[in-house]
Amino acid sequence: MSKPNDIATNLRAVRNRIARAAEAAHRPVDSIQLLAVSKRQSVEAIGAALSAGQRAFGESYLQEALAKMTALGEADIEWHFIGPLQSNKTKGVAEAFDWVHSLDRLSLAQRLSRQRPPDRPPLNVCVQVNISGEASKSGVTVEALPELLAEAAVLPGLHLRGLMAIPKPQPEPRRQHEPFQRMRELFDTMNTRGYALDTLSMGMSGDLEAAIAAGATLVRVGTAIFGSRD
Ligand SMILES: *Cc1c(COP(=O)(O)O)cnc(C)c1O
């Protein structure tokens, strides 16, 4: 884990990477949001990032996230759930989070919609696409995406915002582009079909430049901000 000073420095460096990638892609820098992935990082580490101006945080494990939310109390944080979603977790997620990036099944969409407290705005959701076609990975297949989008779009407790992907890790930059490009094409195709999707959630510490080149509007960055998770 990194010290507070390191976290502020790392955040600046990540924001610079985003700005350079945006410029290279001829995109406005404010068209790309930074989600700080704080899973398995301490409350103190989140506090350091907050002090450095970061507002959106991503968590993968419900119990861990709920404990952090309690500890951080009234801090002005936008919480994003990015971990694998299971039916026994939907209630806690629907009650405590502002966003979910990992929706990949109709049954989960229905539960989240039903369990979203009526006094809160609809839950922002991205549908996760298994873009690399990995058998072991979560995410809806490209083939099944249109049906899930159609079904999720009409649920009253959800606000369908976009698509999310975690392509197979690819250390070689020139090989990172292809899956991101396919996600961009899917995103555009779905918008031509009438969805008003505004969020393309893709790109992490090791591949955010390639994701931004392809059109990512939100990058999810953990280790480049907080250091290793061990
Ligand atoms: C952990 C995680 C990240 C952040 O990964 P880093 O390589 O640490 O930047 C992004 N997205 C998801 C879904 C994750 O689980």
**Residue 74: what pLDDT?**
79
**Distance (Å, whole) CA 103 – CA 109:** 7
* CA neighbor of 206 nearest in space, from 174, 165, 179, 171: 171
| Domain map (residue ranges) of the chain | 4-226
**Distance (Å, whole) CA 124 – CA 195:** 14
Tell me the mean pLDDT per 10 residues along the chain, length 230: 85 98 98 98 97 98 98 93 97 98 98 98 98 86 97 98 94 91 98 97 97 98 93
**Residue 1: what pLDDT?**
61
Query: Greatest CA span in the chain, whole angstroms?
Result: 47
Looking at domain 4-226, its CATH superfamily turns out to be Alanine racemase (3.20.20.10)
**Residue 94: what pLDDT?**
98
Q: Indicate if ligand 1 lies below 6 Å from the C-beta of 138.
A: no
Q: Indicate if ligand 1 lies below 6 Å from the C-beta of 221.
A: yes
* CA neighbor of 17 nearest in space, from 170, 214, 210: 210
**Residue 171: what pLDDT?**
84
* CA neighbor of 114 nearest in space, from 73, 158, 161: 158
* Overall pTM > 0.85: yes
Ligand 1: distance of its center to the CA of 27 in Å? 23
Return the ligand 1 atom nearest residue 101 CA: 13
Which residue's C-alpha comes closest to atom 7 of ligand 1?
205
**Residue 78: what pLDDT?**
98
